[in-house]
Amino acid sequence: MSQFSEQTQKQFSELQASHERMKALTASMDIIFKALKEGHAQLCKASEETNKRLNQVFEEQHHSKRDRYCLDQDINKLFNVYHNMNPQPKGHVMDNTYHQEDIKPDGILVNKERCPSQYQDGDNISYSEKEASKQLPYA
């Protein structure tokens, strides 16, 4: 009986030690999962913030390009109307504005060669056909 008791006590001690190791392992796993969860949350937050910032930058650039483009178009339309009403001598700046056939009734240019996709805000605006074609963002 004492042998059974010693064996039982030994098994119980091993079981208890195993249980303690499992608790330590579980605590370690909890720490790891908590860190992973926090890291994932931080990653998601950083990704979301980055995405918001990229969208904001895109919208800012898009709107500023679009606003500048619309302003350029309005000015060119006015120049063309003025030029058509008041013909100027050759070489005058208004002779170099967009030709009416390049502009749709809504003011959008149809000649893509004169309207490349690259455009930098802050560029000087020139109303010569050659220079303006380099600066306007899109047709």
pLDDT, greater one: 128 or 67? 67
Q: How many CB atoms lie within 10 A of CB 22?
A: 10
| 103: three-class secondary structure by DSSP | strand
Domain positions in the chain are 2-135
In the block, which residue shows the tokens 């220079």? 131
Q: Which two tokens stand for residue 97?
A: 């504005």
Q: What is the pTM of this model?
A: 0.34
pLDDT, greater one: 122 or 6? 6
> What was the pLDDT predicted at 83?
63
Q: What does the mean pLDDT of the chain come to?
A: 66
> What was the pLDDT predicted at 117?
41
pLDDT, greater one: 28 or 120? 28
> What was the pLDDT predicted at 85?
64
pLDDT tens digits, residue range 65-99? 666 667 677 777 776 776 666 555 444 444 344 45
pLDDT tens digits, residue range 21-43? 999 999 999 998 888 888 888 87
Q: How many CB atoms lie within 10 A of CB 95?
A: 14
Q: Which backbone phi and psi does 109 adopt, to 5 degrees?
A: -70, 140
In the block, which residue shows the tokens 């996709």? 117
CA distance 121 to 3: 91
